[in-house]
Amino acid sequence: MQSRLVDFIALLRSHDVRISPAETLDAMEVAATLGYAGRERLRDGLAMTLAKTPAEEAVFEHCFDRFFDRQLADFGSTRREQAQAEPATETIGRELEPAAEGHDAPLLDAARDDAALRELLANPLLQQLQDNDQNALNLALDRAAEQVGLGQMQMFTQKGLFTHRMLEAMGEASLRNVIIALEQQHSPALAPLQRYRDILREQVRDYVEREYLLHAEGHNARFMDDILSHTRLNNLEQRYLQRVQALVHKMARKLAERHARKQRRHRRGRLDMGRTLRAGIASDGVLFQTHWRRLRKHRPQLLAVCDVSGSVAAYAKFLLLFLYSLQDVLPRVRSFAFSSQLGEVSELFDQYPVEKAIELVNWRYGGATDYGNSLQDFARLALDDINSSTTVIILGDARNNHGDPRLDILRSIYQRSRRVIWLNPESRRAWGSGDSEMLRYHSACHFAAECNNLAQLERVVDQLLRLTR
């Protein structure tokens, strides 16, 4: 049962429930202690071990019921026979058993002269089908699913492939070969064997379909997130925007958790051994009190300067959404928006939700781009506040419509700040082409990178958080 529990934990992970290896071991200990016989007790015990938030608990309850509450497959009849029996009463249902037994009479007669058929009748799989041994057949299904790695199925197009693999793992090939031989002989034993083959195939197909539906939700969500995170932000369709915003919050939450833990670990500083030893002299060398070297407190700040002209507005929107979703771990964030003129928009993010503030920013500052004039405005508003603890992030395509780029201002920012990072949504091959001033601006930046999708944006923000710790 431990393998089933591991499969269940894999299912939870596919639904974004965070479970560490240590928690997996705890869950196995809980299952070994409580046992698998009491379903309610097992569910409560595993929920307390694996679900850490109300949202995760809801996902756990949903997945637990679907994963463990399975009905045994019925190998007694084909779907056609079941459809014919539906209008009938229970009395007619009982009459199916003698009829099924009657189907095997031609098999026994033909087996007297056919060695391959005799060997097939001695096969445990066919005997289980003849006896409708549900327990043995369902165990065989589980073993075959584990053998072929059915839990790895992610796409609906793989259902046929895994159905074929499971049939091969259960030994359906021997049944199929005998049926081919009987077809050539026009044997009366053909019909009952085809019936057992159809029953087996139907039940395997149903098993694969149930497994796909069980895992598809989580796999499909991850697959969709992966596609959206690698899609250029200005190519995203309107219908996906809500999902992309949720994905941005999810990425930001993951980064916040990762870097918040590291902050807590480094907050205390190093042990001040000299001071600790001196304090212990009064107590005959017993170190009752420890002293720590406190870390020098930096007050880093982050200045985000975003081009919100038409070609870059989508990228600026998600950069600001990303940065303001990381308020717990990022230093003080001041944001500026520009196209032909630049203005500080930090107060909008204080007064409105992030999504609403971004809409107002685009409405106020959208238009044609003038980098030279915007850098002048930025110098007037913030140059005196830039020091060695300041990180400046500029998001823009550096297309200045052949105006004065005012590279001298950017160099002044470069000399005063801790670092200047330029994120350009255009491909590196386009830098410097036409009216692009990117190659000149690049010389006044500590770091410049192509950034046009969420995966790249997450990577850049992750590096930024490492540097600001």
DSSP string, 258-311: HHHHHHHHHSS-EE-HHHHHHHHGGGTT---S--EEPPPPP--EEEEEEE-STT
Strands (E), 171-246: none
Token look-up 């941005």 returns: 248
39-50 vs 54-68: helix crossing angle, rounded to 10: 140
State residue 267's pLDDT score. 58
Q: Please list, residue by residue across 90-113, b when 16 or more beta carbons sit within 10 angstroms of its beta carbon and e when fewer do.
A: eeeeeebeeebeeebebbeebbee
- Residue spans of the domains in the chain: they are 1-68, 105-216, 242-260+298-468
What's the longest Cα–Cα distance across the chain?
Answer: 105
Residues 120-139 pLDDT 10s: 888 888 888 888 888 888 88
State residue 163's pLDDT score. 92
Residues 36-63 pLDDT 10s: 788 888 889 899 989 888 888 888 888 8
Token look-up 């670990």 returns: 265
Residue 380 phi, psi dihedral angles, 5° rounding = -65, -35
- Cα within 13 Å of Cα(255), Cβ side: 27
State residue 98's pLDDT score. 45
**Spatial CA neighbour of 378 closest among 414, 353, 431:** 414
Quick one: tokens of 148? 């072929």
Residues 244-277 pLDDT 10s: 888 888 888 778 777 765 555 555 667 888 888 8
Q: Is-contact 421 392, C-beta < 8 A?
A: yes
The yes or no reply on domain 242-260+298-468 and CATH 3.40.50.410 is: yes
d(CA 216, CA 153): 8
Quick one: tokens of 453? 């999708």
Q: Is-contact 140 166, C-beta < 8 A?
A: no
| pTM of full prediction above 0.75 | no
d(CA 13, CA 373): 50
State residue 258's pLDDT score. 75
Q: Is-contact 424 451, C-beta < 8 A?
A: yes
State residue 95's pLDDT score. 44
In the predicted model, residues of the chain with pLDDT beneath 50 are 89-100
Q: Is-contact 343 364, C-beta < 8 A?
A: yes
- Where does residue 309 rank: exposed (0-12), middle (13-18), buried (19+ CB within 10 A)? buried
Residue 343 phi, psi dihedral angles, 5° rounding = -145, 155
Quick one: tokens of 76? 């007694």
Q: Is-contact 155 220, C-beta < 8 A?
A: no
Indicate the length of the chain as a whole number: 469
Q: Is-contact 397 314, C-beta < 8 A?
A: no
Q: Please list, residue by residue across 416-426, b when 16 or more beta carbons sit within 10 angstroms of its beta carbon and e when fewer do.
A: bbbbbbbbbbb
Q: Is-contact 319 335, C-beta < 8 A?
A: no
Helix (H) or strand (E) holding 449, with range, is strand 447-450
Helix (H, G, I), strand (E, B) or coil at 387: coil
d(CA 189, CA 106): 5
Quick one: tokens of 310? 């038409």
CA distance from start to end of the chain: 44
**Spatial CA neighbour of 216 closest among 424, 423, 2, 15:** 15
Residue-by-residue DSSP string for 99-162: HHHHHTHHHHHHHTT-HHHHHHHTSHHHHHHHHT-HHHHHHHHHHHHHHHTGGG--SGGGHHHH
2-14 vs 54-68: helix crossing angle, rounded to 10: 130
